[in-house]
Amino acid sequence: MADFDRTPAAPHIPAPLPLRHGPVAGLGLAALAAAPAVAALAAALGGPSPAPVGVALAGHLAGAALAVAGMRRGYPHPDLGAANLVTLARLALTAALLAPLVAPASGWAVLAVALVALTLDGADGWLARRQGRVSAFGARFDMEVDAALGLILALNAWAAGTVGAAVLLLGLPRYVFVAAGAVWPWLLAPLPDRFGRKAACVVQIAALIALQAPVVQGPVAVAILAGGAAVLGWSFGRDVLWLWRTRS
């Protein structure tokens, strides 16, 4: 006879990985090892005063702490993998770009650092697939670093007075999307993997990098902003439409 009085079993929630667990500890130690490089790059960008170096280090360590917390929630591989180290390097470069928001820096220097971060963006996914280290954590880590890089570059372009506050149209969409998900939870459902979304992210970052160049002003800057915003609007709009049609 079926036992109708039995309450349903609670869903199994994996226990967080311990901080001493190999990959988790490795990510934390790698982040600490990268801190001096972040400080040196921040000093090169914004000067050796405490403010630019401090804000860059704070950004790096906060981002690394979030990454470690995310890895503890679930990571299926026995070692850290090169892909996560590349993403961590991109986080370090992104954090260093906080320095020019505190102390003025050359737009060309900001552009150069951001260009390195963009170039590395294609390496982490390739390494993860090549080494068999693909994971939901790695994909999320990569996505959040992309979003942070976009926002920080937008803030740098705004601080430089290139196109005004309108440049935030290129830096805030990811965070607006997440905030909207708190109101409409169906927006937070998993999305199918699409090349167009990845291409739109590259266009977003490339447009923001171009806006760092001191020679990009006036109508050229407005055209770059408008083009990047149009591509992002198409990408996010397509995803929102798909999520709305498939909502439960």
Domain spans, the chain: 22-245
pLDDT tens digit sequence for 8-48: 344 445 667 666 668 999 999 999 999 999 999 999 999 88
In this predicted structure, the answer to whether residue 152 has a pLDDT above a threshold of 50 is: yes
- The pTM of the full predicted model, rounded to 2 decimals, is 0.89
178/186 Cα distance (integer angstroms): 11
Q: Are 99 and 45 in contact (CB under 8 A)?
A: yes
pLDDT tens digit sequence for 157-177: 999 988 899 999 999 999 999
111/114 Cα distance (integer angstroms): 5
Sign of CA dihedral 185, 150, 155, 92: positive
